[in-house]
Amino acid sequence: MRAPKLRAYIVEPDPRALQALLSMLKHYFPEIQVLGSAPNGARALSKINALAPDIVFLEIALKNSCGFQLIERYGRPCSFIITSSVDTYALKAIALNVTAYLLKPLDLKEVLVAINKAKQQLLPSYEGYAKDIGTAYAIDILALPSKDKVELVAKKDIVYLKAEGRYTQFLLRCGAAKLASRNLGAFARLLPPNRFIRVHHSYLVNMAYVTHLDKAGGYYLELMNGRYIPVSKRKLEVLNRFLGIK
């Protein structure tokens, strides 16, 4: 069933958090039309009064104002989804009957639930979306933070990860390379062990893209793109168990 179109506005002072939310909405919620954004409450109030969005994603901690003031001053029907780095304001948010209170960094599944709730509030005649939520939960993404932005990539599109000191380089199925400002170990904990194997202290490989285990002159994994990934002796036993060889 086609999801209904809803219009949204974002109030977010942090450019990186704003970009992360915009990217999430663009890639995974095409039914949400983003009308614009503002970094503070005063500017946002005039905009949402003029645009009348269905949903407002709102950071509570704003410069020279508080997001709750915006909620109290806006008199039209609207679903407010709070995004915050702290849970300090949760009780007040409940008192104001906000749609959802999400903690940063935003989790895709939590955003999905919040948007689903907003749909049910704004479009009570719409049926079927809640039934499809299990399918939507299958969306499996990883956030790659860097100095200027946070990129979202599908885990299934990651071919391998390579340690670069305190950073991690990602190679994606499309051939693009991404550099994230977290170490390899941090990402290893976030990726499914039934798909990603640490075959070397510097490499974590998505086994779905492996075609051969080359044992001539050492151990290497040959990937679909023709690249070779070294397998350390310490990791060979783990790899063999994964492959069912031993």
> Residue 31's closest CA among 140, 116, 154?
116
Do 65 and 156 lie in one domain? The reply is: no
- What are 114-129's pLDDT values in tens digits? 888 888 877 754 444 4
Contact status, residue 3 vs residue 31, Cβ threshold 8 Å: yes
Residue finishing a domain among 81, 106, 136 = 136
Pair 176, 91 in one domain: no
Q: End-to-end CA distance of the chain, in Å?
A: 47
Question: Could you tell me what percent of the chain has a pLDDT over 70?
Answer: 89
The region of weakest confidence among 1-10, 21-30, 42-51, 77-86 is 1-10
Better-predicted residue by pLDDT, 171 or 117 = 171
Verify that 102 and 192 share a domain, yes or no. no
Residue 141: both structure tokens together: 């993404």
Predicted confidence (pLDDT) per residue in 174-211, tens digit: 999 999 999 999 898 888 888 899 999 999 999 999 99
* Amino acid making up residue 185: G
How confident is the model at residue 227, as a pLDDT? 93
DSSP for 17-34, please give it: HHHHHHHHHHHH-TTEEE
The dihedral built from the CA positions of residue 181, 183, 184 and 190, taken in this order, carries a sign that is: negative
Q: Are 182 and 169 in contact (CB under 8 A)?
A: no
Beta bridge partners of 59: 83
pLDDT digits (tens, 9 = 90+) for 89-145: 777 787 788 889 998 888 888 888 888 888 887 775 444 444 443 444 344 788 888
Domain total of the chain = 2
Out of 31-35, 102-106, 169-173, 240-244, which region has the weakest mean confidence (pLDDT)?
240-244
Grade residue 4 by pLDDT with cuts at 50, 70 and 90.
Answer: low
Nearest to 202 by CA among 149, 154, 162: 162
Omega of the bond leading into 124 within 30 degrees of 0 (cis): no
Residue 178 is part of a domain; what is its CATH number?
2.40.50.1020
**Do 41 and 72 sit in the same domain of this protein?**
yes
What range does the domain containing 177 cover? Answer: 141-243
Do the domain assignments include residue 1? no
Pairing of the two strands 100-103 and 79-84 = parallel
Q: Per mean pLDDT, which range of 46-60, 133-147, 224-238 is the poorest? A: 133-147
Q: What is the mean pLDDT of residues 29-35?
A: 91
Residue that finishes a domain, picked among 136, 159, 193: 136
Q: Which of 84, 115, 136 marks a domain boundary? A: 136
In the chain, what percentage of residues exceed pLDDT 90?
40
pLDDT attached to residue 124: 57
pLDDT band per the 50, 70, 90 thresholds, residue 64: low
Q: How much is the average pLDDT of 73-102?
A: 83
Judged by average pLDDT, the poorest of 49-58, 63-72, 76-85 is 63-72
Q: What does each C-alpha distance from 166 to 14, 116, 155, 169 come to in angstroms?
A: 24, 38, 21, 10
Helix axes 108-122, 15-28, angle to 10 degrees: 70
Q: How far apart are alpha carbons 93 and 80 in whole angstroms? A: 10
Coil vs helix vs strand at 192: coil
Residue with tokens 């310490």: 234
CB hemisphere CA count around 103 (13 angstroms): 6
pLDDT, residue 128, reads 44
Count the Cβ atoms, other than its own, within 10 Å of residue 19: 15
